Structure 1
Amino acid sequence: MLLNILFLLTFEPINVTEETLKNGLKILIYEDHFAPVVSTQIHYRVGSYNEPSGLTGISHLLEHMAFKGTKRYGPKEYDRIIDEAGGEENAFTSTHQTVYWANLYKDRYELEIMLEADRMKNLLIAEKEFVPEKMVVMEERRLGENDPYGSLFETLDLVTYFYHPYRNPVIGFMTDLEKISRDDVYKWYKKYYNPANAIIVISGDVDKKEAIRLVARHFEKIKGKPLQEPEFTEPPQNGERRFTLYKEVNFPALVINFRTVKINHPDSYVLDVISKILSFGESSRFKRILIRQKSLAVDLDAYSSVSKYDGTFSIFGIPQSKVSIEKLEEEIYLEIERLKSGDITDKEIEKAKNQTLAQFVFRQDSPAGIGFTIGHWEILSGSWQNINLYPEKILDVKKEDIIRVSNQYFTEENRTVGYLMPRR
């Protein structure tokens, strides 16, 4: 309890300056003068969630093509410019966003602002670049299909969600990738890469007024078009779902999904604490009891994943060589039943809260880390300000919350179970 009080006394809420240009581009500035580094990121509100059947993987494919040249800069020029300026850069695509970022010395970050404005307006997506790059992405897809654990989790999403776009893998299905054309990608680019569908996050050793001025200089003449994102709802799961995959593996593996809640839901904070009680650290339930005391598993983890419209609580395990996968599954449920019955100590709960808060803080230990956090919460939860509510929500979690949430979501009719077995 003392550690919790000290955390609240020492925690400094994130202070972000907001500005929105007339074209709809939202600018979020976080000043931190600890080191002379600036992380500049542009977060587009588009990812696998937005992709209809037949176009899965197109957002990730566009991300690849975004490095293949604009009207002003040729292929690989973006990488060269950032590298010569002493910076680092990359990009990623996820369920709800596509993000481009660069970390540079504080007197050079305008370079990234300029390059992102050019990328937003002037991508070519030339056919001669598109064809070989699509082959690169398709090879990534093949490698994923050959990864037994990747296949396990992809199938888990497909069986957990029958209708919701959360069933779509970010990299897309091979049958869709084969058919996606250069024109498809260009239309996707013109629709989603516009100021009104983007957020630019600048964090680090900056002056907020200067940063806003620089963004306005490079972006304000680009026309914005607001987009309305449809909200899909997966019907409640009314019965256990099970599947078995056979792959070239030496040992079986188990994965369990429970449908839960979306980001910002009051129960999402409780689920974060439960995940730490079960599997974070050597004194957690799974590590201490099922791995060390009972020697049932070589690996066993639990984690809560909440997104914009829905969430899951997942458990992954690999049994010991002489332990059946059915036995491991049975023992996992026994540990969950202990939570449901209230067999939890105050010490466990306090430790789990401290671990959750420590992980929360460590994710923000650099300009890039805090920038990703700001963009993530802004897009998924509706406002970066929800970051500042997180610590207090975690500290408010009580034993009765853990009992209630465990009983509400960790039920047989609400779970999907997958086995990965050695090919016969």
Structure 2
Amino acid sequence: MKYENGLTSILINNKNTLTATAIVFVRVGSVDEKPFQSGLSHFLEHLMFKGSKNYRGDLMGRNVENMGGYINAATAKEFTMYYINIQKDGLGESIKMLADAMQNPLFPQDEIDRERKVVIEEIQRHSDNPAAVIYEKFYETVYEASALKNSIIGTPQVVANVSREEIYGYYKTHYIPAKMIVVVSGNFDETAVEKLIGETFGKFEEQSASPDPMLFEKVHDGKDIIEYGKVETGYMLTGFLGPAINEEDIYTADTAVNILGSGKSSRLYKALYEKKHLVYSTDSYFMTEKGTGNICIISVFDSKNLKKIKDEIKKQIEYIIDGGIAEEELNRATLSIKTNWNFSLETPFGTADNIGYWHLMDNPKFVTEHMKKIESMTVSDIINFFKKYYSPATVSNIALLPSAATV
């Protein structure tokens, strides 16, 4: 449902459960940040449940706990989400709390100062995580022009020095009805919930949204980057640009990446791990973004195998392009995707998260078309996908090796 102030609500009723979920998606994330705001979306997420007009201090968290529920939030590149999982009788109060948090946050100075330390510690842990480090570098490399290169976690300098006024100004700019989607899933009275959303979120003041950031990337040459750090083994992300989230090729991307490197039956696992023993682990992903997505392969390995791994990844993709896909590989990938998709819709939260996400990404038809497209995929579709998006010249390899490594 679309409200006059620009808010969107989605209600998904399921009388076969005793629980419910309320999620608020806000269309703001690291892509909306200027360099001097790096990490501000994430920092703001930490502060939104730290007291509001009608729920001072930690009252909101205690209320949810007393109702047997769970409250949390997360920040991504294009959005921030806030949610409460609750037994069905607590849904009304949960919606009221989320609405008050979104409309009337207090941002107490003592909480800001306390959370600075928490977030800076989180940033430090992030920088000590090898996989996180190469993901950051990979996005900076693959996305040269797009705001998708911006880091979600941000910098300690911004978090340490941003003022309450700057935080509040960022909140006022982005936490507006036109950028919010409220999703309720589970067992509830639709008429009552729709009325409650109208009386809470529907009363938010209408504001014009700022222009969307640029999220599309033109194909460009890849880079080979090797960095050294305090790691005991090698880590590498290999990848290249893929389709945007509103393109038909996203369906093919899921299947193509599954065949290439997802699970023990995949091409890369068999070649890199089972046959040639070049890696300790390997996995592949299609990273969906609202703009240009990417295909990436993560490998953990002994540093001496770096070049052989790059060569083998290239070889396996070229094998696929040359027509080397068996029908049983396609069938396995289809079943794997179907199973994971169905499991993701098993709970009220999973359903709300999936449907809300695809609405937020302006591609709501994905939810109903996903499995139809996957099940109609052909071997030729996979081959043509790699022909279209893969080129050795556009592949980037970001490696993090032990300081004493010689390659």
TM tier relative to shorter chain: over 0.9
Partner in structure 1 of residue 329 of structure 2: 348
Q: SS state of the match for residue 100, structure 1?
A: strand
CA distance 1:87–1:235, change in 2 (3 Å):
closer
CA shift for structure 1 position 205:
0.6
Q: SS state of the match for residue 253, structure 2?
A: helix
CA shift for structure 1 position 393:
1.4
Task: Give the conservation status (yes or no) of the 8 Å contact 1:25–1:198.
Answer: yes
Count residues in correspondence: 404
Aligned ranges 1:285-300 → 2 under 5 Å? 285-300=267-282
CA shift for structure 1 position 280:
2.5
Task: Give the conservation status (yes or no) of the 8 Å contact 1:24–1:226.
Answer: no
Task: Give the conservation status (yes or no) of the 8 Å contact 1:253–1:318.
Answer: yes
Q: After superposition, what is the alpha-carbon deviation per residue over 1:194-236, rounded to whole angstroms, capped at 9, x for unaligned?
A: 2222111000011222210121122333212131432415552
| One-letter identity of the residue aligned with 1:423 | S
Q: After superposition, what is the alpha-carbon deviation per residue over 1:89-114, rounded to whole angstroms, capped at 9, x for unaligned?
A: 11111111111111111121011111
Q: SS state of the match for residue 297, structure 2?
A: strand
CA shift for structure 1 position 322:
8.2
Aligned ranges 1:237-316 → 2 under 5 Å? 237-316=219-298
Partner in structure 1 of residue 374 of structure 2: 394
Task: Give the conservation status (yes or no) of the 8 Å contact 1:300–1:318.
Answer: yes
Cα distance in 2 between the residues matched to 1:154 and 1:371: 28
Cα distance in 1 between the residues matched to 2:165 and 2:210: 22
Cα distance in 2 between the residues matched to 1:214 and 1:368: 20
Aligned ranges 1:319-334 → 2 under 5 Å? 319=301, 321=302, 324-334=305-315
Q: Which stretch of structure 1 is more off in the superposition, 327-336 or 68-77?
A: 68-77
Cα distance in 1 between the residues matched to 2:304 and 2:153: 35
**2:320 is aligned with 1:339:** yes
Partner in structure 1 of residue 191 of structure 2: 209
Where do 5+ consecutive residues of structure 2 fail to align?
Answer: none
Partner in structure 2 of residue 9 of structure 1: none
Q: After superposition, what is the alpha-carbon deviation per residue over 1:329-354, rounded to whole angstroms, capped at 9, x for unaligned?
A: 11111111111101111111121112
Cα distance in 2 between the residues matched to 1:178 and 1:40: 32
**Identity %, equivalent residues:** 27
Cα distance in 2 between the residues matched to 1:200 and 1:236: 33
Task: Give the conservation status (yes or no) of the 8 Å contact 2:120–2:159.
Answer: yes
**2:344 is aligned with 1:363:** yes
**2:238 is aligned with 1:222:** no
Q: After superposition, what is the alpha-carbon deviation per residue over 1:14-73, rounded to whole angstroms, capped at 9, x for unaligned?
A: xxxxx2222222110001111111101111111111112210111111111112112222
| One-letter identity of the residue aligned with 1:401 | D
**2:166 is aligned with 1:167:** no
Cα distance in 2 between the residues matched to 1:239 and 1:94: 26
| One-letter identity of the residue aligned with 1:256 | T
Cα distance in 2 between the residues matched to 1:356 and 1:419: 29
Cα distance in 2 between the residues matched to 1:253 and 1:104: 40
Partner in structure 2 of residue 91 of structure 1: 73
Cα distance in 2 between the residues matched to 1:338 and 1:68: 54
Cα distance in 1 between the residues matched to 2:183 and 2:292: 25
Partner in structure 2 of residue 407 of structure 1: 387
Partner in structure 2 of residue 146 of structure 1: 128
Partner in structure 1 of residue 171 of structure 2: 189
Where do 5+ consecutive residues of structure 1 fail to align?
Answer: 1-18
Q: Which stretch of structure 1 is more off in the superposition, 285-294 or 87-96?
A: 285-294
| One-letter identity of the residue aligned with 2:254 | D
Partner in structure 2 of residue 12 of structure 1: none
Q: SS state of the match for residue 264, structure 1?
A: coil
CA shift for structure 1 position 173:
2.4
CA distance 1:113–1:260, change in 2 (3 Å):
same
Cα distance in 1 between the residues matched to 2:230 and 2:303: 19
Cα distance in 1 between the residues matched to 2:280 and 2:138: 21
Among 122, 128, 132, the residue aligned to 2:110: 128
**2:22 is aligned with 1:36:** no
CA shift for structure 1 position 136:
1.4
Partner in structure 1 of residue 214 of structure 2: 232
Task: Give the conservation status (yes or no) of the 8 Å contact 1:152–1:245.
Answer: no
**2:399 is aligned with 1:384:** no
Q: SS state of the match for residue 33, structure 1?
A: coil
Q: Which stretch of structure 1 is more off in the superposition, 80-89 or 178-187?
A: 178-187
Q: SS state of the match for residue 283, structure 2?
A: strand
When the two chains are superposed, the root-mean-square deviation of aligned CA atoms in Å is 1.6
The 4+ residue runs of structure 1 with deviation greater than 6 A are: none
Task: Give the conservation status (yes or no) of the 8 Å contact 1:55–1:176.
Answer: yes
Cα distance in 2 between the residues matched to 1:388 and 1:26: 19
| One-letter identity of the residue aligned with 2:187 | D
Q: Under a length normalisation based on structure 1, what TM-score does the superposition of the two structures give?
A: 0.91
Partner in structure 1 of residue 82 of structure 2: 100
CA shift for structure 1 position 416:
1.0
Partner in structure 2 of residue 6 of structure 1: none
Task: Give the conservation status (yes or no) of the 8 Å contact 2:242–2:389.
Answer: yes
Q: After superposition, what is the alpha-carbon deviation per residue over 1:242-261, rounded to whole angstroms, capped at 9, x for unaligned?
A: 11111111111221121111
Q: SS state of the match for residue 260, structure 1?
A: strand
Task: Give the conservation status (yes or no) of the 8 Å contact 2:173–2:210.
Answer: no
Cα distance in 2 between the residues matched to 1:34 and 1:233: 40
Partner in structure 2 of residue 420 of structure 1: 400
Q: Under a length normalisation based on structure 2, what TM-score does the superposition of the two structures give?
A: 0.95
